[in-house]
A and B are shown apart, each in its own frame.
Chain A
Amino acid sequence: GAVVSQHPSWVICKSGTSVKIECRSLDFQATTMFWYRQFPKQSLMLMATSNEGSKATYEQGVEKDKFLINHASLTLSTLTVTSAHPEDSSFYICSPRGLGSTDTQYFGPGTRLTVL
């Protein structure tokens, strides 16, 4: 499978601050990046989809001004949680997809965000 990294693996921040999460595809070019959110003991919920060089498309109910996604290169995408609040505490997972690949998605190891 593909090699995907996320940084940081876990982060604790104060309420009101912003946190940036990086996702890198290490052995292929990610033309599309999916960002998911997972609450404890729940399923993965798609937050947004971004294509390299384009604006992200957000799922219904996801605030685009709060969850800023940048996908400026084929190997790096970032998710910034702005003005984080305790309810934003969750596990965030990225999933890159390569050019020409329309089916199998691989996943990053995830980032655990705790907002105090």
Chain B
Amino acid sequence: AQTVTQSQPEMSVQEAETVTLSCTYDTSESDYYLFWYKQPPSRQMILVIRQEAYKQQNATENRFSVNFQKAAKSFSLKISDSQLGDAAMYFCALHGNKLVFGAGTILRVKS
């Protein structure tokens, strides 16, 4: 079975500051992928960043980076220099034999 846990229902960050969203997961697959997706009010799912489990190096995409701790099964997302447009629901997802989502974290950005 695959599970994804996001323990923060809501987070707030001041514009231009940094925020970290937490995610833990569990899977019996040896080869898997991890993702962070963003869902703004339009509800369109947008891929933010992906990480291959076999890679030790943490993925980065501009202001977005992850802290992938494979042994601890942890996959947090750090957003640097937060912008108003970052406000959205963020989902952590695991793809082993299928794509499974966490419950989501609502991120609010204060101006």
Contact = CB atoms under 8 A, between A and B. Distances in A.
A1 B101 CA distance: 19
Contact of A43 (B33, B98, B104): B104
Interface in A32-48: 34, 38, 42-44, 46
B95 A46 contact: no
A110 to B, nearest CB: 5
Given A107-B45, A109-B42, A109-B44, A44 B50 contact: no
Given A34-B99, A104-B50, A44 B44 contact: no
Nearest to A49: B98
A110 B47 CA distance: 15
A93 B102 CA distance: 16
A46 B95 CA distance: 12
Q: Which 8 A-B pairs have the closest CB atoms?
A: A107-B45, A103-B33, A43-B101, A44-B101, A109-B44, A43-B103, A110-B43, A43-B104
29 contacts: A1-B46, A1-B47, A34-B98, A38-B43, A43-B91, A43-B102, A43-B103, A43-B104, A44-B91, A44-B101, A46-B99, A46-B100, A49-B98, A93-B43, A93-B45, A95-B45, A103-B50, A103-B52, A103-B95, A104-B33, A104-B50, A105-B95, A105-B99, A107-B37, A107-B45, A109-B42, A109-B44, A110-B43, A110-B44
Interface of A: 1, 34, 38, 42-44, 46, 49, 91, 93, 95, 103-107, 109-110
